[in-house]
A and B are shown apart, each in its own frame.
Chain A
Amino acid sequence: MQGLSKQQALDQLRSRIERIEKKPPLAEASSRSTGELSLLATPRGVIHEIFGDTQLEAGNTLGFALAQSRPLLGRDRPAVIILQLGPDGRELGVPYGLGFKSFGIDPEAVVFGRMDNPIDLLWAMEEAIACRAVAAVVADIATPIKALDFTASRRLSLRAAASGCSAFLIRYTREREASAARFRWRLVSALSQPPPFDAHAPGRPRWQVTLEKGSLDGRRVSAAPGGEVFLVDWTERGLERVATDGRRGRAQRPAPLSVPLPAAMGDGLSQAS
């Protein structure tokens, strides 16, 4: 160490710190969901922001939030709480219990909060996140709430980290503002692959998901401007990546694998930018 100059020692320390930052901390690694190897899996106890461009993306964003919450449910975390303002329910539509089955979530486990004003919504979010028996909290924020600024979101993320409950804030705007959420997703719907038996019918939900902020598996956000982009289908097994050339025109699907493709294999495929 004496042979190195002060500058080189500092550079070495910096690269060591970078390497440590890239690896996920030990606590999170153990709490990530095991079992099915899910694409886009995130650790527990974090705040996500899911952005849709317009209010038409209401169904997609809720579907993505439920897809991310499904692995978080467990025996000691039996509940998912969905919060919505009353007026927003008439604009965006209220979550419908019969449609949850296709996302693998039992409608009996979901509790809905309906509020009149945004302050009650923030209060309910904070109370629900602080509870250690809740798996995920999903909140529809159609109009931006003034009280949800950087300090408020930082407080929410501290609470989430303490209790291990994740929160998904769904917003319908193209503007981005500073927030302490650890993950920021942007969801755009994509034309689906028709099922093999009917070329004219809609197929599985297909989304173009952009991870604008945050890192999965400890990897850094890639150098592409705007973040890493995935084109995913929602199936019963979870999110599956789709090749960009699509599989249009193929008459039959390949035989389903017993284990889904690990995400690492998808790196070699070209991705939509």
Chain B
Amino acid sequence: MKLVALDDRAGAEGLFIGQNVTDARALVANLELREIDRGYVEQKFAEFADWHSNASPLVSILSDQAPWGDLVLDITGVEHLFGGEHAMLDMLVQRLSALGIAAVGAVAPTIGLAWALAHCTQQRVVEYDEVSAALAGLPVAALRLHSDQVERLKHLGLKQIGQLYNRDRRSLRARFGAPLLLRLDQALGHIEEQFVPRLPATEHFSERHFADPIGLIDDVLMTARDLAFRLASKLEAEALGAQTFHLFLYRVDHKVMTLSVNAASPTRDATHIARLFAYRAERLSGEYEAGFGIDLIRLGASSTSPISEQQLGAFDAEDGTSSVIELYDRMTSRLGALGVVRHSFVDSHVPERAVRLEPVIAAPIKAKPLPPIRAPRPLRLLPQPEPIEAAFAQIPDGAPPSMIWRRVHYRFVRSSGPERLRAEWSLAHKKLMLTEETANAAKAAKQLEQYYGEGRNTRDYFIAEDEAGRRFWIFREGLFEVTATPKWFLHGFFA
């Protein structure tokens, strides 16, 4: 076991990171050791990383070499807000040291070079044309390679990255593998390194800082409303509308909360956006925790697309009630995407597969026209067909004269049918499970179910009317010649 972190007094006693625990205990008598909880540290670092997005919206954790400790910020285009790259780097490092965190940073055109500078030399800012010169003097360990690769390079006398520049690439690849060349190219900027930001990237945003941190959700929503107006004017200046809006709440204790809402069609209507966030906030209830307060709120828009100007009528009420799409947006933001659905039809004759529920705000998929179903279909369908007892049906194709359903007896005076629906042979290996019991029984008798059995899963549907005039849709599963005891189920109700 090795030491991974020390405090100042332990460092003064002569201990270092990477030292054996037994050696350390031998050197220092009253050493207090605690085992590291890696998962906890990773999670805390990740939350802390989100806070850095108040400097630049694109923040990512570089976990190649260690699961925590390395933060990458993409500051393209934002450095002028902080007075230049040097000033921004100084500000970031100083505010971390004000929190008691010792950090080193570097600004470079590529991620690889910035990592190398931060880890192996002191703080620097490197311009575009100095990249290869800056990289040449650094040791090969700065290329984020595996430690035995670094050892092998050192064996061959390649101690600095500058020595790799003029070597033959094919022989380097043959000896050390492709990762060496990949890292070298990434550091020099020949290959783009992928950067995945932690928080959703927004193209346009408006933000507000607070001198005194706020905590109430009502204040947050009021601010969101103001920010929505500002964002709307920004979007209007570029004739854009957006479909996704994110509200970032930066807490004083360096955590970030995110709320997202979706709109079905691109919009820049500020009252509509504010109302969507209000309804979304009602769905939060337990998750909202302001901690010690929120000092920065940022509202960002993504998935933008151009929309044209809209002419409003002179006497139209501006409360958004004239459009169904806005109603669906509002309902979805409160109930969730799967709470507001519409039917879409699938080319399948099995009744429970023929209709699919999809969220209303999703764009409708233009499917080719399906063959029409001429047989009558019920108005209500039970999500799981319920087993009934129906005896004395005329063999082979008759409807039963009565049934017992949910322990009540119904006598049928009229019936019509059968409508025969075969199981879909192409989906035979994924047999349609009616109830939980049949699923378990099928697992037990797996051999039988592997092949499509003609007649075993065929359903004969009947419309049966009882004495009071209520109409039921019942079916018998299995044909009499094939299965010994076919089972009866109730599937739906007619009007």
Which A residues are within 8 Å of any B CB, using their own CB? 56-60, 62-64, 66, 78-79, 89-90, 92-103, 107-108, 110-115, 120, 123-124, 127-128, 130-134, 163, 188-192, 194, 198, 200-202, 205-207, 234
Determine whether B120 belongs to the interface, using a CB cutoff of 8 Å to chain A: no
Contact A127 B345 (CB under 8 A): no
State which of A64, A90, A102, A120 has its C-beta within 8 Å of the C-beta of B383. A90
Since A63-B495, A99-B376, A201-B463 are in contact, a sample of 8 more A-B pairs with Cβ atoms closer than 8 Å, ordered by chain A residue number, is: A59-B493, A93-B383, A96-B379, A97-B355, A98-B373, A191-B468, A206-B469, A207-B469
Q: Which residues of B are at the interface with A, using a C-beta cutoff of 8 A?
A: 321-324, 327-328, 330-331, 334-335, 338-343, 345, 351, 354-355, 357, 360, 373, 376-384, 413-416, 463-465, 467-471, 492-495
B464 to chain A, nearest CB (A): 8
In contact, B334 and A97 (Cβ under 8 angstroms): no
Cross-chain contact A205 with B335 (CB below 8 angstroms):
no
* Structural contact, A99 and B378, CB atoms closer than 8 A: yes
A98 proximity list for chain B (CB < 8 A): 345, 351, 354-355, 373, 377
Please list 17 pairs of residues, one from A and one from B, whose beta carbons are closer than 8 Å in the complex, sorted by A's number: A56-B470, A57-B470, A63-B494, A64-B495, A93-B378, A97-B345, A100-B379, A114-B338, A114-B339, A114-B340, A132-B321, A134-B324, A163-B321, A191-B413, A191-B467, A202-B471, A207-B469
Q: Is the CB of B340 within 8 A of A111?
A: yes
Complex: A191 Cα to B493 Cα, angstroms: 15
**In the assembly, what is the distance between CA of A115 and CA of B334, in Å?**
10
Contact between chains at B343 and A205 (CB < 8 Å):
no
Give the secondary structure class of B's interface.
mixed
- The answer to whether B470 touches A112 (Cβ under 8 A) is no
Distance of B344 from chain A, by nearest CB (Å): 9
Q: With A110-B343, A115-B335 in contact, is A94–B384 under 8 Å at CB? A: no
Q: Which residues of A contact B471 (CB under 8 A)?
A: 59, 192, 202, 205
Q: Known contacts A110-B343, A201-B414; decide if A62 and B495 are in contact (CB<8 Å).
A: yes
| A63 contacts across to B, CB distance below 8 A | 379, 494-495
Lowest 3 CB-CB distances: which A-B pairs, in order?
A63-B495, A93-B380, A59-B493
Chain B residue contacts of A115, Cβ below 8 A: 335, 339
B327 CB contact (under 8 Å) in A92, A123, A127: A127
A94 touches B335 (CB 8 A): no
What is the CB-to-nearest-CB distance from A19 to chain B, in angstroms, rounded to a whole number? 35
Could you tell me the distance between the alpha carbons of A14 and B376 in the complex, rounded to whole angstroms? 54
In this complex, the member of B334, B343, B415, B495 whose beta carbon has the largest number of chain A beta carbons within 10 angstroms is B495
A189 touching B324 by the CB < 8 A rule? no
**In contact, A59 and B321 (Cβ under 8 angstroms):** no
Closest B residue to A77 by beta carbon equals B324
Q: Is the CB of B470 within 8 A of A189?
A: yes
Alpha-carbon distance between A183 and B381 when the two chains are bound, in angstroms: 28
Report A-chain residues with C-beta under 8 Å of the C-beta of B377.
96, 98-99, 101
Residue of B nearest to A57 (CB): B470
With a CB–CB cut-off of 8 A, which chain A residues contact B379?
Answer: 59, 62-63, 66, 95-96, 99-100, 103
Q: From residue B17, how far is it (CB to closest CB) to chain A in Å?
A: 52
CB distance from B468 to the nearest CB of A (A): 6
By the criterion CB–CB under 8 Å, are A60 and B495 in contact? yes
Complex CA gap A132/B338 in Å reads: 24
Would A90 and B341 be within 8 Å (CB), given that A62-B495, A189-B470, A192-B414 are in contact?
no
Q: Which residue of B lies closest to A208 (CB)?
A: B469
Residues of chain B within 8 A of A58, CB atoms compared: 380, 493
